[in-house]
Amino acid sequence: MRIVKHPAKYFRKTRKAAIDTIVIHYISAVNINKQRAFDTLEILKFFDKPVYAGIDKKTGKKKYVKISYHYLISRKGEIYGLVDENNVAYHAGISSLNGRSIRSSCNDFSIAIALVGGNWCEFTEKQYELLIESTKDIRLRRNIPKDNIVGHQHISPGRRVDPGSFFNWGKYFDGVFEKGKDVKTKNVDFKEKTFKNDLEVLSKAKIEPKNNIENGKDKNLLDKILEKIFIIFNKAKNKEHELFWWRKK
Ligand SMILES: [Zn+2]
């Protein structure tokens, strides 16, 4: 596995806990440049300077966030190393795993892998291959328990949606663990049991959902409708599709 180095500007060197968690994300440039939503070069810019994250409701001013992941996997199957695993990446925000958080976040005990993608289309085969390979590698090196391999949506329920409904957990876990062994009904556990606790923790913390570049809450109504149509369309076609290609015509 060849990792292309692209050091992110934002991270922290002082981890407050041992690493025992892997968090899967998706990211796209859809709110910045719709025509180039999956363009790796556009997305790599996010790690060089603060990213526009919508209008702050209180101040009415534009909001910017500093983000990073340890790894980014492109649609074509390149893996970028953004932050050294020993350092803390800024990826989870307000989050909690089984009621556990440090500074209200899972950042201190996790490694983040982001797939270029969105909530309107499938991820690519090459992305699954690299994600499985990198997860196996991290898991073995760091002895990560399988229940601690989670999506951002599971540790920030109600606030984040990635990697979303197009991410195939069964396929992923079949690859990371030997098929038929040790996998069981992972998804059911996630949704119904494990994360109830986290919702309670987060609701007590009175966290307001924020605008963010990942779930596109500041999209206008037309875009939302188009997104729904394309989700249906893409599910039917079962193939990768760019959301806004036809709007250029
Ligand atoms: Zn995320």
The CA 201 to ligand 1 mean position distance, Å, reads 19
According to DSSP, the β-strands at 11-12 and 88-89 are: antiparallel
pLDDT > 50? residue 42: yes
pTM to 2 decimal places: 0.73
* Extents of the domains making up the chain: 3-248
CA 90, 30, 80: angle at the middle one, nearest 5? 45
The CA 141 to ligand 1 mean position distance, Å, reads 23
The CA 25 to ligand 1 mean position distance, Å, reads 4
Give residue-wise pLDDT tens across range 56-83: 888 999 989 999 999 999 999 999 999 9
The CA 249 to ligand 1 mean position distance, Å, reads 32
Q: Quick one: DSSP state of residue 190?
A: I
Rounded percentage of the chain residues whose pLDDT exceeds 70: 71
- In the chain, which residue ranges form alpha helices assigned H by DSSP? 40-44, 125-142, 152-155, 169-176, 186-188, 196-204, 221-237
The CA 208 to ligand 1 mean position distance, Å, reads 16
pLDDT band at 246, cuts 50/70/90? very low
Average pLDDT on 187-199 reads: 41
Q: Which of 113, 116, 115, 53 is nearest to 89 (CA)?
A: 113
Is the pLDDT higher at 31 or at 7?
7
Average pLDDT, the chain: 80
Is the pLDDT higher at 153 or at 218?
153
The CA 109 to ligand 1 mean position distance, Å, reads 16
Residue-level pLDDT at 54: 84
pLDDT band at 27, cuts 50/70/90? very high
The CA 89 to ligand 1 mean position distance, Å, reads 12
Give residue-wise pLDDT tens across range 3-15: 999 999 999 999 9
Task: Please tell me the CATH code under which domain 3-248 is placed.
Answer: 3.40.80.10
The CA 164 to ligand 1 mean position distance, Å, reads 10
Gyration radius of the chain over CA positions: 17
Give residue-wise pLDDT tens across range 99-125: 999 999 999 999 999 999 999 999 999
The CA 131 to ligand 1 mean position distance, Å, reads 15
pLDDT > 60? residue 93: yes
Give residue-wise pLDDT tens across range 137-158: 999 999 999 999 999 999 999 9
The CA 215 to ligand 1 mean position distance, Å, reads 9
The CA 66 to ligand 1 mean position distance, Å, reads 13
CA distance 230 to 249: 16
The CA 24 to ligand 1 mean position distance, Å, reads 7
Using CB atoms within 10 Å of the CB of residue 101, give its burial: 0 to 12 exposed, 13 to 18 middle, 19+ buried.
Answer: buried
Is the pLDDT higher at 221 or at 122?
122
CA 6, 150, 162: angle at the middle one, nearest 5? 70
